Amino acid sequence: MKKPLRVLAAVLLITFLCASAHAAKKPDSLSVKIGQMLMIGFRGLSVAEAPQIAADIKERHIGGVVLFDYDVPSHTPSRNISSPEQLARLTQELQNITTIPLLIAIDQEGGRVNRLKAARGFPPSLSAAHLGELNNPDSTRAAAQRCARTLKAMHISLNLAPVADLNVNPENPVIGKLGRSFSADPAVAISNITLTCQAYREMGIIPTLKHFPGHGSSTTDTHLDFTDITDSWSEKELEPYRALIAAGYRDPIMTAHVFNSKLDPLYPATLSKAVLDSLLRGKLGFKGVIVSDDMQMKAIADRYGLETAIQLAIEAGVDILIFGNNTAYDPEIASKATAIIHSLLQKKIITEARIDCSYRRIMELKKRNHIGRT
């Protein structure tokens, strides 16, 4: 073989080997799509302290994480947040190890549900109930702007707020008694929710309406037990969602684990195609991302196996499955959920087309909101 031909052959061989090595390292698209549907909670104040979440991000391609200031299973006040400086470092570290920007989420409602506490150096916050009582646009806007500025500085992109539940039952242990609802009056709630969402978006923070189709009338807590709202829920509780969707709302909506036999005689809302597909997407016309409430809460975890719960949630229309890892702690939860979804696909119980639908919605949300940019 002449020298030029030998050189060309060597170049071609090296090119082939490099391409093969790159292909071997490149994850398959289906695994990426499945990973993007998972939002996982974890323990650790830095990525170095959280090797499992780092592996979930790098190897399982999870699409989001959710942060907490208190670890419920161990009853300790050390989880992900100790100070503004530490939190800003953590969120940047998380974004630096992913190829697809993460949704970094938190429950920063204000008042009692407040992960960024003043005692740790964060600005004080006001509850939705207090703001609803004032019902002053300037006060609500100022509170939302202060919250959004803080989240932006911490590189947090998604707030799991505002609460769109109406304060139907003031004695509700998880909504009314905690001051999480703006009002029992739909008009007051809609006005304050709209102002809050606008202020978030102006600062580049994604809002999340919760908990669909309404948790305000319940008498029990879905974190702890099965919650039946069949006799207490009314169509009025849909009004905040109906009004905001009609006005163009397309950011996420979080499901409730509540059961209402008038809407679905078999399943709670998170697992109900009648509630999520027929009602939320069909009748109300919602086209955005549907986020589950924490799949480890007892209203789901105590009544359904993990595989059944994941299957039903995806079939119902959930796009992002949250495993907060703060009701129970399972460091392998992302691996288990990923394996279950792959198995459901292999068994043809769910289809790749269904996964594609969620993936497209999630990626559109991230692109539209420039996730990962600081």
Model confidence pLDDT, tens digit, residues 213-262: 999 999 876 675 678 999 999 999 999 999 999 999 999 999 999 999 99
CA 217/CA 231 separation, integer angstroms: 9
The confidence score (pLDDT) of residue 222 equals: 65
- Cβ atoms 32, 332 nearer than 8 A: no
Which string of b and e fits 250-273 if b means at least 16 CB within 10 Å?
A: ebbbbbbbbbbeebbeebbbbbbb
CA 217/CA 238 separation, integer angstroms: 12
- Cβ atoms 178, 111 nearer than 8 A: yes
The confidence score (pLDDT) of residue 9 equals: 44
* Residue numbers in the chain where pLDDT is lower than 50: 1-5, 7-25
The confidence score (pLDDT) of residue 302 equals: 86
Find the farthest-apart pair of alpha carbons in the chain and give their distance in angstroms, rounded. 89
Closest CA to 244 of 206, 307, 187: 187
The confidence score (pLDDT) of residue 99 equals: 94
Q: Which H or E run includes 366?
A: helix 352-368
Going from the N-terminus, what domains does the chain have, and what CATH number goes with each? 104-319+336-368 (3.20.20.300)
Taking the CA atoms of residue 346, residue 350, residue 354 and residue 359 in that order, the dihedral angle to the nearest 10 degrees is -60
Residue 163 DSSP label: B
The confidence score (pLDDT) of residue 19 equals: 41
Closest CA to 352 of 34, 27, 26, 36: 34
Active site residues: 223, 293
**Angle, CA of 244, 249 and 250, to the nearest 5°:** 145
Please state the pTM of the whole predicted model. 0.91
Closest CA to 208 of 332, 103, 335: 103
The confidence score (pLDDT) of residue 220 equals: 75
The confidence score (pLDDT) of residue 182 equals: 98
E strand intervals along 173-312: 209-212, 253-255, 290-291
